[in-house]
Amino acid sequence: MEGAALAPPRQVARQGYLILTILLGIAGSGIAMAAFAHGSYRVGPLIVEMSVKPATKGTTQVGSEFARLGLQAGTAKAETHAGFLALKGTITGLYSQSISPQAVLDTQDPLTLAKTIRDQGKTAVKKVLLRVALVVIGGGAAGGAVVALIGLKTRRVFQGLLAGIVVVGVLGLIAWKTYDIDKFATAKFSAPGVALLQR
């Protein structure tokens, strides 16, 4: 009687493979996002490197790698949202040899810079989000493919892909719903510990 309540060994094995597929799909998406979910995009007259990575808490870091043509070097970080994604926007260059006084004002403090990236970088944000989606799909599929090799079950690839998309999608939705850019109101730029490029 008691033995009848136990699941057949084959069913237990299938459940084990499914759990492993989900875990590896999530891990693959996270690793791929940490490694490849970044790029440099135009935000007004600025070139800004944007990235999204898994993290232990929801933070956003903004700043500039160099002091040049009125821009100040330094970075600032704030806990801007719930969840486990770290967002980053760093000025790495300029599209011209000159920069307008307004552009200097738009980058004068962390809150203003964050709002500048938000308001002037809508196209750039869409591009980085598309990159994140593609990277997550690839990472999740790769995680599922590892399990697929064991049992030659191609559906594991899609299960891993789906697991990665769902988890990252939920984290992205949480970040979007809870994001508060005004957390930068009290933040200040901290100068980097390397020599600044002054011109």
Convert the pLDDT of each residue in 91-126 to its tens digit: 988 887 767 787 788 888 999 999 999 999 999 999
Tell me the pLDDT tens digit for each residue of 23-72.
999 999 999 999 999 999 999 888 999 999 999 999 999 999 877 667 77
As a whole number, the mean pLDDT across the chain is 86
Q: What percent of the chain has pLDDT over 90?
A: 62
CA separation for the pair 102, 71 (Å, rounded): 11
Give the Cα separation of 5 and 35 in Å (integer): 45
- Of the candidates 144, 95, 150, the residue with the CA atom closest to the CA atom of residue 120: 95
Contact 51, 88 (CB under 8 A): yes
Edge-to-edge order in the sheet of strand 85-94: 38-43, 46-54, 85-94, 59-64, 74-78
Residue 152 confidence (pLDDT): 62
For 10-49, give one letter per residue: b (16+ CB within 10 A) or e.
Answer: eeeeeeebeebbbebbbbbbbebbbebbbeebebbbbbbb
pLDDT of residue 69: 61
- Residues 137 and 146: their CA atoms lie apart, in Å, by 15
Which pLDDT score, from 0 to 100, does residue 199 have? 34
Task: Give the predicted TM-score (pTM) of the model.
Answer: 0.85
Return the pLDDT at 1.
46
